[in-house]
Chains A and B, each alone.
Chain A
Amino acid sequence: MSERNPAGEIRLHRFHGGLRLRHNKQVACRYPLERLPVPEQLIVPLLQHRGAPARCVVEPGQSVLRGQLLGDLPDAAGRGARVHAPTSGTVRAIETRAMAHLTGQAGPCVIIEADGEDRCAPAEGIADALNAAPAILRERLRETGVVGLGGAVFPTYNKVQGTVRDGVQGDGSIHTLILNGAECEPYIACDEMLMREQADRVLMGAELLRRAVGAQRVLIAIEDPMNRVEGALRDAAVPPGAVPAEIVLVPAIYPEGGERQLVQTLTGREVPEGGTPRDLGLLVQNVATAAAARDAILDGQPLIERIVTVTGNGVRDPRTVIARIGTPVARLIEAAGGYTDDVARLVVGGPMMGYALGNDGEPVVKATNCLLALSTDDVRPTQPEMPCIRCGDCATACPAQLLPQSLLFHARARQWDETEALGVNACIECGCCDFVCPSHIPLASWFRYAKGEVQARHRERAVAEAARERFEAREARLARAKAEKAERLARRKQKLKDDADRKQQIAAALARARNKAGSAGTDG
């Protein structure tokens, strides 16, 4: 698949566009990982993943144990992920609250009052997991609510399930598992810290995921400035019988950690538009997802905590911590020394793709990889937007090879068919075009808006199509009922007619017989 140079290293390729950004990661890597204490109250949203919200299975007043199921899959076939209790305690309420979602919407959350004992629900790992059937491993990922921790929070079970059909290991559709440790956004360092300190977990998770999808080889991609990570991964214990993972250093050109960009860097091939890396026989998973998969399979532990980087010039003592899902964001800020005096904005995610959080009472969720507190100096004074001068810098920088200028004009004119034809759905909202635009046009925001409108139109069309089908089915049913009724009537009429005919015939026969008898009587 991948080409190699004479030294046996994988030949790397360059994707289109991208930016070289200042890293700003080391500031959050100065202390070892530290597990935060469990807060008294946790807010656990039932929607922390891509797909439908989980169906709540607990009631207010019920006591729960750590790892106990709070939200189940909405339906057997549906996309989604289970949600579990991050600690033991009492369910105080199930209510609608802000849930640190990208859209800023409120949604159903389970509020848990912790009892401080942190008692664990009975959990059992899969015995001899390295020799277990892939279907068992995958099922475990579903049960434990593991989702992609790189940012997209796509349920891991849904992602791996499409690969091996009917539980047959290695049907050849996936040959390579790529572990994505190339954390490309500035400031974010949670994957870097994970690989530095818990490389064993990552390697074990990689081997288990490899077996779950039936891949033959494993690549771990890390950024080239991550020297200590490389050493840690090489020193880590390789699970017995595992295929050794190949560690590849990829150049730090934002957004090289994007799924499509990483595949192109490693293989030189592009994921087709609207397709997934599976079309090329690849599966890309984040390193933290692999570590979570290891805990789920070997220990039976659901996804109830994650590593979060708390950083930026707006906090006094940046660091990377392990926090339970549902911990209020304010607790993490406290752990990082609190806000500085000139804090200006709190962002979830990195400076390129993150979104501002309105309130630090909102919880840490499965998607929260970084809390970035920006100071007034960091927040670039918002410059007035100038007209586009058609310099083309945005097209040069776009890693999706789109034409941001043309897209912008059509999006402003609300010509959704045209924006769709120009491939707005392929936009990964990385923000490179924004960054380079000399006229300070918020291009990525426009494309996010256009994508929302295009998708809303698709949904409307799907609804109309369903209504048409129901209408046609009803018309067909009514027509059939009418035809059946007409037929029944006709048959009845025919029967009446037949009856009348028969009566006549009988009467005629009787008359004949009577005549005959009468004539015989006169004869005799």
Chain B
Amino acid sequence: MLTPLLLFTGLALALGVGLGWAAKRFRVESDPVVDQIDALLPQTQCGQCNYPGCRPYAEAIAADEADINQCPPGGEAGVRALADLLGREPKPLNPENGEDTGPTVVRIDESRCIGCTLCIQACPVDAILGAPKLMHTVIEASCTGCDLCIPPCPVDCIDIVPPTPRFDDWRPGIPLRVVAS
């Protein structure tokens, strides 16, 4: 009677110690779920989700503090992808966070710019180039369209524009369906 009891107690203790050691030894610093969620977010870093960037929002979703429908730039497709990943039901975008406007970028009207550098400090992806009292300009290829540079601008010289179409953005359309007349 006593032998199995001792045996299993001993086994449980040994395994427990082993697991405890393994948990310390092979600890993963970042949460893989957060990485997976972050990989689905559009990385505009716009803060429309009420978190300061995409990664903090991903952390909040992983910690169940935020819902999956707070990212307007990701659009409905983004919500669906998050729902697929997390095994939840997709839901429409939360209108409080804004609307999906499609891809946009900002452009500085250089004749009005006074070179105050406020937009440079606001840009989360360092996509604005300039120096104090000199004209600033937006690097379009790096602009995510987050519009965070617009509120700080004292002379309102930043406009939201559609991105310049690029030659290799062309995609073949859906084939036409020929129906019997």
Contacts and interface: CB of A to CB of B under 8 A. Distances in A.
Interface of A: 47, 53, 103, 105, 107, 382-385, 440, 442, 445-446, 448-449, 451-453, 455-456, 459, 464-468, 470-471, 473-475
Contact of B124 (A446, A455, A471): A471
B170 interface: yes
Contacts of B169: 456, 459
Given A449-B174, A465-B43, A384 B125 contact: no
Contacts of B127: 470
Contacts of B43: 464-465, 467-468, 471
B126 A474 contact: yes
Contact of B178 (A384, A446, A456, A475): A384
Interface of B: 38, 41-45, 53-55, 124-127, 142, 144, 167, 169-181
Contacts of B38: 468
A385 B179 contact: yes
A456 B103 CA distance: 13
A501 to B, nearest CB: 39
B141 to A, nearest CB: 8
B34 to A, nearest CB: 13
A452 B168 CA distance: 10
B55 to A, nearest CB: 8
Contacts of A465: 43
A92 B181 CA distance: 49
A12 B54 CA distance: 56
Q: Is the interface of A mostly helix, strand, loop or mixed?
A: helix
Given A103-B170, A448-B172, A470 B142 contact: yes
B171 A467 contact: no
A445 B170 contact: no
A467 B178 contact: no
Nearest to B84: A417
B179 A384 contact: yes
13 contacts: A384-B179, A384-B180, A384-B181, A449-B174, A449-B175, A451-B172, A452-B171, A455-B171, A464-B42, A467-B45, A467-B142, A468-B43, A471-B53
B126 A442 contact: no
Of A445, A456, A471, most buried by chain B (CB within 10 Å of CB) is A471
Given A471-B124, A471-B125, A474-B124, A445 B175 contact: yes
Given A53-B167, A384-B180, A467 B172 contact: no
Which 9 pairs of residues, A with B, have the shortest CB-CB distance?
A452-B171, A445-B175, A384-B180, A464-B43, A470-B125, A467-B43, A442-B175, A468-B43, A448-B172
A474 B125 contact: yes
